[in-house]
Amino acid sequence: MGKVIGIDTSERIPNITILEKEKIVLMEKIERDFHEDIPYFLEKKGIKPEELTGIGVGIGPGSFTGLRVGLSFATGLSLALKIPIKGVITLEGMVASVEKDGVYFPMIYARSGTVFCGKYE
C-alpha cells in the first residue's frame, strides 16, 4: 500500500486520515468544507495529490446526508486522480489502528440519546 487518504463524514464533524505504507501519518477532525482542507493536509505532509494510490471512505453507520457528501466527494476524487476507492465500515475504521489484542466497542452518537455500536475482537 502506498499513500492512501481516508475520508469519513459519518459523524457531525468529519475527519481525514492519511496513511503512508500502512502507517497513520495524519488524522484530523475537519470543518464541513473539508474539500478545501484536503489540499492543505496533503501539502502539510509533503504529498502531492497525484502520489495518492487509493481512497478509503466511510460508509456508515452514520448521518445519511453526511455519508452521501463524503461518498460523492471521494468518488469525484477517485475519478479525477484515476485511483481506486474502497468503502470502509466506519466502526471498523475506528478500531483499525488500535492494538490487535482485546475486545473493542466503538460507538458513534446517533441522535436522540442512541448510539451505533459494534464489537470487535
- 77 CB contacts (<8 Å, ≥6 apart)? 5, 55, 85
| Prediction pTM value | 0.88
DSSP label at residue 49: G
Per-residue cell: 13: 464533524
Instruction: Kindly list the domain boundaries of the chain, sorted by start residue.
Output: 3-117
Is 32's pLDDT higher than 70? no
Choices 3.30.420.40, 3.40.50.720, 1.10.3720.10, 3.40.50.12780: CATH for 3-117: 3.30.420.40
pLDDT of residue 97: 75
pLDDT tens for residues 60-99?
A: 998 889 899 999 999 999 999 999 999 999 999 888 878 7
Partners of 103 in beta bridges: none
CA distance 72 to 26: 22
